[in-house]
Structure 1
Amino acid sequence: MKRLTLLRHAKSGWDDPVARDFDRPLNGRGRRGARLMGMHMRDLGLRYDLVIASPAVRVVETLDGLWEGYGRSIHAELDKRIYLASAATLLDVIQEAPDSADTILLSGHNPGMEDLVLMLVPDRIEDEARDRVEEKFPTAALAEITFDVAHWTEVKAGGGQLTRFIRPRDLDPALGPDAHA
């Protein structure tokens, strides 16, 4: 059994004057959302053998906030292929993961993260969590998918089961779409 958790970066600041999109930092709401998600992950007892992330500033800052809320930090392997990657590229990264890691946290960007969930989890009737992902995979949201496989190379389209989907607004309505930075 393999467990993959996808975490989209938290809300970034569009008001900050940066030369490149890659360098865009989190805003206040994003920092709050990342910390809250980290506290929730700690409360759920989630643990990871491997963390792989985009090296973009907003992803690195998301993980910093996440670990602050979680209460301890975990080293992340930064992989530039994840920056604005398609679902197919993200799947390549996952399939290359070492089998010694049974639980992986992958942190990156949309639309690739949302597309990856929809690719990996079959569309079944009455799957409320998948329907919410299809509606929107918002910033700082977390999707956990399990696979009944022994090797990451066996992870394929339609082969996963979405076991949880948590949005920041599920934890604090002030972090919802109508809230302001």
Structure 2
Amino acid sequence: MNNTHTLVLLRHSKAGHAATDFERPLTEHGRETARLQGSVMARTVGKIDLALVSAATRTRQTTEYLHYGGLEIEAFQYERSLYANNNASATLDLIREVDEEADTLLVVMHEPAVSELALRLCEPEDGAQILTRGLSTATFAWGTLDVPWKELHTWKLGGLVPPSM
């Protein structure tokens, strides 16, 4: 454990259609985009200690393809609440419960919560204005914080990384 944490917020990759919204799988394009973003994320933030992943099919598949792209993820925790309670406050509460042993945390989730949370964590000088349009599919925002997870209120925005394809 170190004194600085890294938080990565990722919107799932492009999904197709299914009988229910919860079961929507990734499209072929979505799978390839997630794989490529896995490579980018590995170069940008390194190994992920813990991934909190919405239990929906498209978020689980996104996480799987991030791994295929070379992103090392030490532990996974599938959270139905990231789907059912799709809001920034509920997600922030979940993050604040993360064990301090996790230095780098990835949260794979849905709109509108992913954009709302990224914006909420930003200080105005960190470029919050770039987040006001929302995170498109497979885009991730990442930042650092120098406080325990349970004290998370703001981060130092490191970047907003849309897919390059």
Q: TM-score, normalised by structure 2?
A: 0.90
Matches within 5 A, 1:20-169: 20-44=20-44, 46-70=46-70, 74-83=74-83, 85-124=86-125, 127=127, 130-149=128-147, 151-156=148-153, 159-168=154-163
1:6 aligns with 2:9: yes
Q: Distance in 1 between matches of 2:162 and 2:139?
A: 4
1:99-151 CA-partner distances (Å, limit 9, x unpaired): 11111011110100000011111223x82xx33321220111111121121x1
Residue 74 of structure 1, CA deviation? 4.2
Runs of 4 or more consecutive aligned structure 1 residues displaced over 4 Å after TM superposition: 71-74
Q: Helix, strand or coil for the counterpart of 1:93?
A: helix
Q: Helix, strand or coil for the counterpart of 2:51?
A: strand
- Are the structure 2 counterparts of residues 74 and 99 from structure 1 closer, same or farther at C-alpha, using a change threshold of 3 Å? closer
Q: TM-score, normalised by structure 1?
A: 0.83
- What is the CA RMSD across the aligned residues, in angstroms? 1.7
Q: Distance in 2 between matches of 1:45 and 1:97?
A: 18
Alpha carbons 2:53, 2:79 under 8 Å: kept = yes
Residue 71 of structure 1, CA deviation? 5.9
Q: Distance in 1 between matches of 2:92 and 2:142?
A: 15
Residue identity (%): 33
Count of aligned residue pairs for this structure pair = 161
Work out which of the two has the higher radius of gyration on C-alpha atoms and give 1 or 2: 1
The gaps in structure 1 that reach 5 residues or longer are: 173-181
Which residue of 2 is the match for residue 176 of structure 1?
Answer: none
Alpha carbons 2:53, 2:82 under 8 Å: kept = yes
Q: Distance in 1 between matches of 2:116 and 2:73?
A: 28
The gaps in structure 2 that reach 5 residues or longer are: none
Alpha carbons 2:47, 2:74 under 8 Å: kept = no
